[in-house]
Amino acid sequence: MHEERLSPFAGETMTQLTVGFARPRTAVPDLTAGNRPATPALVDQHGRVAQDLRVSLTDRCNLRCEYCMPADGLDCLPITEALSDAEVVRLVTIAVERLGIREVRFTGGEPLLRRGLEDIVAATTALRTVNGARPVTAMTTNALGLEGRAAGLAAAGLDRINVSLDSLDRQTFATLTHRDRLPDVLAGLAAADAAQLAPVKINAVLMRGVNDAEAPELLAFALGRGYGLRFIEQMPLGPPDAWDRGAMVTAQEILASLSTRFTLTTADPAERGSAPARHWVVEPGPDLPGGTVGVISAVTQPFCAACDRTRLTADGHVRSCLFSRTETDLRSQLRAGAGDDEIAAMWRTAMWGKEAGHDINDPAFMQPRRLMSAIGG
Ligand code: SAM
Ligand code: SF4
């Protein structure tokens, strides 16, 4: 059963949308298959509505984080297979103007490697959602090169930024990422803060025996600078030999480690909404202000039932979930001359088939073919 609050279309309930659906101009997939309500929104069979679009701008990266990429890299998409800037903007426009997307997050690979990033951000912020609002724009980045681009990105209209930082120790950082680039990341963080891409948020993944002892230090660093911090449980989306269910650092262990130095209390769960992180309030200490810390327990406590995401890969394929083993190729349709109605209908069909949840914890779990860097995290 869909609730009224789920509809992103102003003043319309799901029932009203059934009545108000405009017939597409071109031949499109059967949108009534499996009793799909005739709504423009990206609904699925489990009562969810996708309003948050993750766009991978490239599958290339200048780091080699152990949990994400093999040390010797991956075969990158040939340039002709990647979406052009104009194609990215066209698909984002369809998502925002026709499909109810309210937030667009640019990711990768490393999105700062995309030359046209600022133009893509500017084109996105110029769009208006179905409710007439400006879409929220965000980026997840490793921050290499951000020092020189943060001000330009803010000027282009970027609202929020998440910087991945797993260690404050230069040697550990270099071991984990296979690149000695910690000073560049710290400079990028400071530049993002100065450009008021606020609140700057840090994403951290802990690996046992590598950086798992650093959780309290990362939190002290974030609190001291007014940055947000979220720990993400390592998911089986990197090199197959980099993930072991038994060895993974769990949310519970992360909280236990933080509690050795900080006093944490559970934040109001109502504030979580569809956000994947559970938050804890951190009490101020003698030399540090208080704040909050998030933990995304994607493996030990999946949040699939509240997921509101849809993903677009750098080669123009829709994925309804990070763990999907099927994709919908919009790029081929786009290059074959499909109209916006047809593309929108294909996207709706792809999301209608979204799985109820991932099956990481099933013994029969099979890792998807694409790794995290190629999907867009
Ligand atoms: N290169 C950018 C970065 O690192 O922020 C954007 C792409 S990266 C794939 C996006 C996020 O996914 C990062 O925060 C990274 O830590 C996270 N990530 C990558 N592989 C992961 C894995 N196997 N499990 C959990 N998080 C992962
Ligand atoms: Fe690159 Fe981001 Fe993957 Fe690290 S997590 S290898 S920075 S894509």
| Residuewise pLDDT in 10s, the chain (377 residues) | 333 334 445 444 443 332 222 333 344 555 656 689 989 999 999 999 999 999 999 999 999 999 999 998 888 899 999 999 999 999 999 999 999 999 999 999 999 999 999 999 999 999 999 999 999 999 999 999 999 999 999 999 999 999 999 999 999 999 999 999 999 999 999 999 999 998 899 999 999 999 999 999 999 999 999 999 999 999 999 888 888 888 899 999 999 999 999 999 998 766 655 567 899 999 998 999 999 999 999 899 888 899 999 999 999 999 999 988 889 999 999 999 999 999 999 999 999 999 888 878 777 787 888 888 888 88
Q: Which of 57, 58, 62, 63 to mutate to test the pocket of ligand 2 (most atoms within 8 A of CB)?
A: 63
* Sheet containing 52-56: order of strands: 264-266, 278-282, 291-296, 228-232, 201-205, 160-164, 136-141, 103-107, 52-56, 309-312, 317-319, 328-329
* Residue 14, in any domain of the structure: no
Q: Residue whose CA is closest, atom 15 of ligand 1?
A: 164
Using alpha carbons only, give the angle 97, 100, 105 rounded to the nearest 5 degrees: 90
Q: Please, are residues 104 and 138 in contact by the beta-carbon 8 Å criterion?
A: yes
Ligand 2 center to 154 CA (angstroms): 22
Residue 69 belongs to domain with CATH number: 3.20.20.70
pLDDT of residue 4: 36
Tell me whether residue 67 is in a domain: yes
Whether 157 maps to a domain, the answer reads yes
In a domain, 248, yes or no: yes
Cβ of 105 closer than 6 Å to ligand 2, yes or no, is: no
Angle at 352 between CA 347 and CA 357, to 5 degrees: 115
Is-contact 226 219, C-beta < 8 A? Answer: no
Position 24 in a domain: no
Ligand 1 atom nearest to CA at 236: 23
- The CA-based angle 113-296-225, given to 5 degrees, is 65
From residue 153, give the alpha-carbon distance in Å to each of 138, 162, 177, 196: 10, 13, 25, 10
Q: Which residues line ligand 1 (CB under 6 A)?
A: 61, 67-68, 107-108, 110, 140-142, 164, 203, 205, 232, 234-235, 237-238, 372-373, 377
Taking the centre of ligand 2 as the mean of its atom positions, its distance from the CA of residue 63, in whole angstroms, is 6
Report the 10 Å Cβ neighbour count for 292: 17
Number of domains in the chain: 1
Predicted structure pTM score = 0.91
- Other CB atoms within a 10 A radius of the CB of residue 38 amount to 15
**What distance in angstroms lies between residue 13's CA and the mean position of ligand 1's atoms?**
36
Residue 205 near ligand 2, beta carbon < 6 Å = no
Query: Which atom of ligand 1 lies nearest, measured to the CA of 376?
Result: 9
pLDDT of residue 110: 97
| Ligand 2 pocket mutation, candidates 59, 64, 69, 207, criterion most atoms within 8 A of CB | 69
Q: Is 56 helix (H, G, I), strand (E, B) or coil?
A: strand
**Is residue 193, in this structure, part of any structural domain at all?**
yes
Buried b (16+ CB within 10 A) or exposed e, 70-94: beeebebbeeeebbeeeebbbbbbb
**Ligand 2 mean position to 59 CA, how many Å?**
9
Report the separation in Å between the CA atom of 233 and the middle of ligand 2, taken as the mean of its atom positions: 15
Q: Whose CA is nearest to atom 21 of ligand 1?
A: 68
Quick one: which ligand is closest to 112's CA?
A: 1
pLDDT of 33 reads 62
> Residue 144 CA: which ligand 2 atom is closest?
7
Torsion-angle region of 178 (φ positive above 0: left; ψ -120 to 50: alpha; else: beta): left
pLDDT confidence of residue 291 = 95
Look at residue 310 and tell me if it is in a domain: yes
Quick check: 179 and 199 in contact, CB under 8 A? no
Q: According to the model, what pLDDT value does residue 268 have?
A: 73
Q: Check pocket membership of 374 for ligand 2, CB cut-off 6 A.
A: no
Cα separation of 28 and 242, whole Å?
41
Which atom of ligand 2 is nearest the CA belonging to 61?
1
The verdict on the CB of residue 322 being under 6 Å from ligand 2 is no
> Is 68 close to ligand 2, i.e. is its CB under 6 Å away?
yes
Q: Which ligand neighbours the alpha carbon of 64 most closely?
A: 2
Q: What is the pLDDT of residue 272?
A: 57
Phi and psi torsions of 74, nearest 5° = -130, 160
**What is the atom index within ligand 1 of the atom nearest the CA of 56?**
7
C-alpha torsion sign, points 4, 311, 239, 203? negative
User: Residue 225: which domain range?
Assistant: 44-375
- Tell me how far apart the 2 most distant CA atoms of the chain are, in Å: 66
- Residue 308 Ramachandran class (φ > 0 left, ψ -120 to 50 alpha, else beta): alpha
- The pLDDT assigned to 21 comes to 29
- State the distance from the centre of ligand 2 to the C-alpha of 61, rounded, in angstroms: 6
Ligand 2 and 299: CB distance under 6 A: no
Give the ligand whose atoms come closest to the C-alpha of residue 65.
2
